[in-house]
Structure 1
């Protein structure tokens, strides 16, 4: 899927490392010609609270801008409060909510969107890109 068919000018992945261990990641993939999709922003619980999620998010958003996308979308679940607050702090706006059932729990899926043409608060930092 991503490894075999992505366009490196329009899609990228980053891995955060701490003490030579992989502790986080994020993907920027094409949703369509004008919209990038942020996928799988993950930070290992042992590495949280160090700003790694913010650095990964900022790099992903900066890449999407450089790649020429005009908007970025992402999907998350309502219990992921820290992630949602991070997205909101970077200018993402909630555009849709829908209930769903996953992992044996009733959840509310949330779609957020960011206008990449507005000046952002991103502070790009290159971690490891592939």
Structure 2
């Protein structure tokens, strides 16, 4: 891999790296998740360390006591390098799960990692017996929103807020899970 502007370049001319998705269970996975969120969102949107602190809290709560039968995290890799992550945690009621902290690094965008991560997350949610998955995001995260919509999430509500040093519009999305396997949206496998 070569370096460009301090970030690993995943794709070589003519090559399309294979994306693999695995559990976030190796040393460094949780720390990487916090670090990459802080770095990417600061670079892309100018968000301050309040966002990194939010992600750190989500990851710390997961690390401190998640139920492995009902909660999990995943890492996407390309050529053995971490390029994305997503987590699924229990919601406020037993039948509802929350999709949290989806991210794909800039160098790996367009390779299908985000769709693979969300698909893996939703498959796990169905197997764990959840009937609904919810998520909170911000309207500026357009690529993630397209992935969510591709899997059938619908916008439940939105509200302006000032967070992470910026004026944003927070959005709550929801997906009712149908029993059985579901195919991925086009272009995500």
**Do these two structures clear the TM 0.5 threshold for a shared fold by scoring above it?**
yes
CA contact (8 A) 1:62 1:122 kept: no
CA contact (8 A) 1:59 1:122 kept: no
State the TM-score, normalized to the length of structure 2: 0.62
1:20-75 per-position Cα deviation (integer Å, ceiling 9, x unaligned): 11111000100130101000001010111000000000000010000000000000
Q: Which has the higher helix share?
A: 2
Correspondence 1:22-101 to 2 at 5 A: 22-31=82-91, 32-101=93-162
Displacement after TM superposition at 1:18 (Å): 1.1
Q: Higher relative contact order by CA 8 Å / sep ≥ 6: 1 or 2?
A: 1
Cα RMSD, aligned residues only: 1.4
1:47-105 per-position Cα deviation (integer Å, ceiling 9, x unaligned): 11000000000000010000000000000000111111110111000001011012322
- Residue 117 of structure 2 aligns to a residue in which SS? helix
Q: Which has the higher strand share?
A: 1
Candidates 68, 73, 84, aligned match of 1:8: 68
**Residue 29 (structure 2) aligns with:** none
Alignment pair present for 1:104 and 2:156: no
CA contact (8 A) 1:97 1:111 kept: yes
State the TM-score, normalized to the length of structure 1: 0.89
Displacement after TM superposition at 1:118 (Å): 6.0
Gaps of 5+ in 1: 124-130
What is the count of residue pairs matched by the alignment? Answer: 123
